[in-house]
Amino acid sequence: MNNVPQTFSQESFQSLLNSCENFLFDCDGVVWNWPKEIPGSIEFINRVIQMGKKCFFVTNNSTRTRKTFSQQLKSFGVKTVTEDQIVSTAWVLAEYLKSQNFKDKVYLVGNPAMVEELDKLNIKHNALEEHKDYVFNSTNYNEIELDPTIKCVSVGIDYEFTFQKMIYASSYLKLDGCNFIATNDDSNLPVPIKNIAIPDAGPILSSIEKTTGRKALVIGKPRQTMWEILCRVHDLDAKKTCMIGDRLDTDILFASNSGIEYSLLVLSGITNESDMWKIDTEKDGKKLPKFYSNSLGDLLKFF
């Protein structure tokens, strides 16, 4: 990987288009800054689709199903997008468990989208409903009843996370043979209002890891599990793929970890140009993109 990020020339952009069969797009900060489209992003995506390239939308957001994501992209104006083009962590979780031939039951700390994706693959789970009546009072340990069929704890963002859920998730993880999987470990959600902080799955996951002393297998970006599942389902070639994102430590590092040949950082989201140049190339060179641009819209002139 070239550790000196480059801006595009007409020649280098055409070379990218000629070399790549597959384009992976992060959504927040690339396609939209919710709820508004980033100018030119949809036209860029449609141009790439018209050229016959395969496009996938790769997100650590576990709160929406692939159906919901595809509908949102269509409402923004993306043409011919299908559920098969959506790579969300809720879907990756279900596909990963299927790939491991998991036949037992999952204890979910998560959200309805995770429930729906597990249901589609007939993976048994607690439906986010178990143990809601239990309230810990520092003496009623004997009222904690564990389901012996649960062999996996899966953690995603959970808007109804409670101390009781932490107790049960942690207790299951004390049992032999219980798997521990997280959709992502992002610290916070992107929000358009200054001085408002909304936790993502990371703080929830951290509380359970601290309680149990165990580390989860994280399947979202920047880990390569998401790419492995995508390749297994769609048979993609990393050497002919470009990852486009707005975060150095998730999107661009994901490309590096997965062996994806081309990466493009857009400065329309979380990362600004000064952040990129502050990266220590010796220590964190894998976080540097091959190319960068202010936005996808800025690249329309090269088509």
Mapped onto helix, strand or coil, the DSSP state of residue 99 is helix
Q: What is the pLDDT of residue 190?
A: 79
pLDDT, mean of residues 101-125: 97
Q: Say whether pLDDT at 2 is over 70.
A: no
* Spatial distance between the Cα atoms of 54 and 197, rounded to a whole number of angstroms: 35
Q: Residue 3's pLDDT band (boundaries 50, 70, 90)?
A: confident
Q: What is the pLDDT of residue 182?
A: 98
pLDDT, mean of residues 277-294: 95
Q: Are strands 188-189 and 198-199 parallel, antiparallel or unpaired?
A: antiparallel
CB atoms within 10 A of CB 266: 28
* Spatial distance between the Cα atoms of 29 and 275, rounded to a whole number of angstroms: 15
- Whether the upstream peptide bond of residue 5 has omega within 30° of 0, thus cis, is no
Per residue in 152-173, pLDDT tens?
999 999 999 999 999 999 999 9
Q: Residue 277's pLDDT band (boundaries 50, 70, 90)?
A: very high
pLDDT, mean of residues 204-233: 97
For residue 23, give both structure tokens: 């384009």
pLDDT, mean of residues 88-104: 97
Per residue in 135-152, pLDDT tens?
888 889 888 999 999 999
Q: What is the pLDDT of residue 34?
A: 85
Indicate whether this model's pTM tops 0.85: yes
- Whether the upstream peptide bond of residue 190 has omega within 30° of 0, thus cis, is no
Q: Could you tell me which residues are beta bridge partners of residue 57? A: 25, 86
Tell me the CA distances in angstroms from 120 to 116, 155, 177, one per residue in order: 6, 18, 25
Share of the chain above pLDDT 70, in %: 99
**Residues 6 or more apart whose Cβ sits within 8 Å of residue 221:** 26, 58, 60, 184, 245, 250, 251, 253, 254
Which residue would you say has higher pLDDT here, 77 or 193? Answer: 77
